[in-house]
Amino acid sequence: MKKSFLCLSLMLIICLSLAACGSSQTKGAPDKAEATETTQAPAKEKVFETSDERFQITADEDWSDAKDVLKIEDATLSISKGTEGYIALISESKYNFSNELSGYNKLVVKHMEKSIDDEKTSESQTMKLGKYDAYKTTISGNVEDVAMTYQIYCTEIEDRFIQLTCWSLDGSEKKLAPKFDKIAQTLSPVKD
């Protein structure tokens, strides 16, 4: 778990760097891509598979692999939507923990809270991700003086605990929150 926490901390730092790059763009008239976005057909979807080929999620085609950008050692899957939003999946053997899913969720949330200044954490909500029991927790706060919002989903599939951590800059959280929910709902084992 300490290794996962260190990786998530590294992920936060990289995200801040990417956010800083994205925030240096000039504001004004929308660029050509934004102008045509509203006239295009609904986005096609693509499947992202974990590097260990155990799990998969489905996202719109404007999401892309981000493992080379985020470089989260324990994450078996990292994707991004440009510099707007990020998702990382960490899968851990249940046998490494003495906790049930609720205890694992509390452990993950507690470690995330420690790395966020002025954090505001929602109550963890019980939910289903597909047919799997899960918890969803939202944490808002500052990381190195940049406002961020995280949606953390914890579930168990087979012999694994899975944390799906989604995050965005505070200005994008309302737009991305339903997309994060939609993507999280597609989490499943890779079909043979």
- Judged on CB neighbours under 10 Å (0-12, 13-18, 19+), 186 is middle
Q: Is the pLDDT of residue 16 over 90?
A: no
pLDDT, tens digit, for every residue of 36-49? 344 555 669 999 99
Contact predicate 129/155, CB 8 Å = yes
Query: pTM (2 decimals)?
Result: 0.78
pLDDT, tens digit, for every residue of 162-190? 999 999 987 888 899 999 999 999 999 99
Kindly provide the residue ranges of all beta strands, DSSP E only, lying in 66-124, ordered along the sequence.
75-81, 85-93, 117-121
- Judged on CB neighbours under 10 Å (0-12, 13-18, 19+), 67 is middle
pLDDT, tens digit, for every residue of 20-36? 444 444 444 444 333 33
CATH superfamily, with its number, for domain 2-19+59-189: Mog1/PsbP, alpha/beta/alpha sandwich (3.40.1000.10)
Where in the chain are the domains?
2-19+59-189
Report the C-alpha gap between 76 and 162 in whole angstroms.
10
DSSP label of 191: P
- In terms of pLDDT, which residue wins out, 94 or 43? 94
